[in-house]
């Protein structure tokens, strides 16, 4: 336990053995790792979809989030993965929809 002048003392000391002050520094709290905001944004965009704009952004943001989380040891890996999956599902749905429209349009305009 450190006094306000940074002298080391026993944990149960009421005043500093060295300088006599009775004020001690509060124990340093272990701060929880911050939640990565790109991970949250990624999942939200994956859910709101926004005509596939959200899906594309969700995929991009999840890659940014995962690299930031790995580098800074932040929380939110689950959010980023959820955003990535939702985004990929959205993008795949877009691909399938565009393909179907192309096929239908082709058949409508072809004679016979």
Interface ranges with Zn ion (CB under 5 A): 3, 5, 7, 16, 18-19
How many Å apart are CA 12 and CA 2, to the nearest integer?
Answer: 11
SS3 of residue 20 by DSSP? coil
Alpha-carbon gap, residue 111 to 102, rounded angstroms = 16
Q: Which residue, 18 or 92, has its beta carbon nearer to Zn ion?
A: 18
Dist CA 87 CA 60 (whole Å): 9
Nearer residue to Zn ion within complex by CB, 16 or 66: 16
CB of 2 to Zn ion, least distance (A): 8
User: Of 14 and 108, which CB lies nearer to Zn ion in the complex structure?
Assistant: 14
Smallest distance, Å, CB 19 to Zn ion?
Answer: 3
């Amino acid at each position: 336990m450190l006094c306000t002048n940074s002298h080391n003392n026993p944990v149960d000391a009421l005043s500093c053995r060295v300088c006599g002050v009775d004020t001690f520094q509060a124990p340093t709290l272990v701060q929880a790792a911050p939640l990565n905001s790109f991970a949250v944004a990624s999942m939200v965009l994956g859910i709101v979809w926004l005509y596939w704009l959200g899906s594309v952004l969700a995929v991009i943001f999840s890659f940014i989030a995962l690299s930031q989380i790995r580098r800074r040891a932040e929380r939110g890996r689950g959010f980023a993965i959820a955003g990535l999956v939702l985004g990929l599902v959205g993008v795949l749905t877009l691909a399938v929809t565009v393909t179907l429209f192309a096929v239908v349009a082709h058949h409508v305009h072809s004679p016979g």
